[in-house]
Amino acid sequence: MSTIAHRHADVDGFNVFYREAGRAGAPKLLLLHGFPSSSHMFRDLIPLLADRFHLVAPDLPGFGQSDLPARDTFAYTFDNLANVIDRFTEVIGFDRYAVYVFDYGAPTGFRLALKHPERITGIVSQNGNAYVEGLSDGWNPIQAYWREPSQANRDALRALLTKETTIWQYTHGVSDTASVSPDGYSLDDYYMNRPGAHDIQLDLFGDYQSNVALYPAFQQYFRTHQPPFLAVWGKHDPFFLPAGAEAFRRDLPNADVRFFDTGHFALETHAADIAAAIAGFLIR
């Protein structure tokens, strides 16, 4: 077992918590989590890769143990999440790295790739979308808020922030729900219920439309730079459909696309399989 260090980085006055493992000098892999989780979601994956890679998994701003500034002092947009993580990589010396993107981690990581294509050695997308056809009907309430950002439409999204919905995100599409540890969704629910956290998440739901607007730019980046690309997809994801994984091949003909018999949080059930796929991909 590799030791996982739990650290804090001062990113221009913003505290970013992160997990780190592996040998300095080994190929670097940046792990970016999604909603409503934190770097805790990588707790099983990191030890499986730490003998070959230098891994770093930060908590995004407003998530996990990273700072949760008030909304009147920090605008919760995906541009700002990416800006903090971009500076974070510079502060810790991650100059060239592969990136693992999941859910919210995808628009964050793809922004880093757009800004610094020379830094990206490869991309692993685990249910991290960049194509309209990957969006399921589960996005309809959020898209209604984009079209009409009324208080009523905003309040309707609070149903997505309940513990019951979080548990459903972890267990939907999983053949044996007993294989899903309650630790992940229980911790997510704890963080979700901190003062002010719900409105922060509603802000990000509203700003997610900025990611969809950037899909053409992300796709142009793929076509232009042809980064080595691996998609590892829980095929029963209720939010990001398998068509979104297949679509990467349109712009990245050499993309390696693999599906697993699980849901959105694929690492909860298939960490060993995904680790093996990543190791083979990045070593190649």
Q: Please name the helix (run of DSSP H) or strand (run of DSSP E) that holds residue 73, with its range, or none.
A: none
Go through the chain and tell me how many residues it has. 284
CA–CA distance, 271 with 275 (Å, rounded to integer): 6
Q: Considering 40, 172, 264, 270, which one is annotated as catalytic?
A: 264
Burial code of 69-99, b = ≥16 C-beta within 10 A, e = fewer?
A: beeeebebebeebbbbbbebbeebebeebbb
- 264 among known catalytic residues: yes
Query: What is each CA distance from 120 to 3, 112, 117, 221, 239, in whole angstroms?
Result: 26, 8, 6, 11, 26
Pairing of strands 5-11, 97-101: unpaired
In the block, tokens 């053949």 appear at 175
Q: In angstroms, how far is CA 246 from the centroid of its own chain?
A: 18
CA atoms within 13 A on the CB side of 245: 25
E strands present in the chain: 5-11, 14-21, 28-32, 54-58, 97-101, 120-125, 229-234, 256-260
Catalytic residues: 264
